[in-house]
């Protein structure tokens, strides 16, 4: 069995359970990795991601976002994407300069409406599909919303 050559026993950092991993570097480098790397067993990894996801869900609920719908895996991924995208919006918000108070107010309203649109996206899939959204994309949408407010 050639597989055995690449199989090493490591210990989970959290629960100290021993488990096997396959490493494909030189034997010397593999031994180094076995010794130095932080290893986590599947169970602890799952629990860790569960906790991370729960943390994000809580943080997002505090700013008006609902829990996402989808499989466990999708929700966990989508929460991370949602976190990054919300950070992009915050970054954009902070980088804006205003000529006067009216402009500032209009921008504030546009961002509120923009967030409302996002708050309606409760499917994990939507966030995964939009994971490549850039600050520029967000800026364009907010500008369009501003225009529609002005037009009223």
Residues 3-32 that bind Zn ion (CB under 5 A): 12, 14-15, 17
Nearer to Zn ion, 12 or 149 (CB): 12
| Footprint of Zn ion on 32-61 (CB under 5 A) | 41, 44
| Spatial contact of 11 and 18, defined as CB atoms under 8 Å apart | yes
What is the closest distance, in whole angstroms, from the C-beta atom of residue 47 to Zn ion in the complex?
8
For 27-68, the three-class secondary structure string (H helix, E strand, C coil) is HHHHHHHHHHCCCCCHHHHHHHHHHHHHHHHHHHHHCCCCCC
Q: Which is nearer to Zn ion, 47 or 83 (CB)?
A: 47
Within 13 Å of residue 25, how many CA atoms lie on the same side as its CB? 9
Least distance from Zn ion to the Cβ atom of residue 17, Å: 5
Give the DSSP H or E segment for 143.
helix 135-150
Size of the site for Zn ion (CB under 5 A): 6
Q: Using CB under 5 A as the criterion, which residues of the chain lie in contact with Zn ion when the complex forms?
A: 12, 14-15, 17, 41, 44
């Amino acid at each position: 069995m050639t597989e055995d050559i690449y199989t090493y026993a490591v210990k989970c950092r959290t629960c100290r359970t021993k488990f096997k991993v396959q490493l494909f570097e030189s034997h010397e480098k593999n031994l180094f990795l076995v010794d130095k790397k932080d290893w986590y067993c599947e169970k602890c990894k799952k629990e860790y991601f569960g906790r991370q996801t729960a943390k994000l869900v809580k943080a997002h609920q505090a700013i008006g976002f609902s829990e996402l719908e989808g499989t466990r895996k999708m929700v966990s991924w989508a929460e991370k994407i949602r976190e990054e995208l919300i950070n992009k919006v915050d970054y954009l918000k902070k980088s804006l300069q205003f000529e006067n108070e009216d402009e500032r107010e209009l921008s504030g309203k546009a961002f509120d409406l923009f967030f409302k649109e996002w708050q309606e996206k409760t499917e994990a899939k939507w966030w995964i599909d939009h994971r490549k959204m850039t600050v520029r994309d967000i800026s364009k949408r907010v500008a369009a919303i501003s225009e529609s407010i002005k037009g009223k």
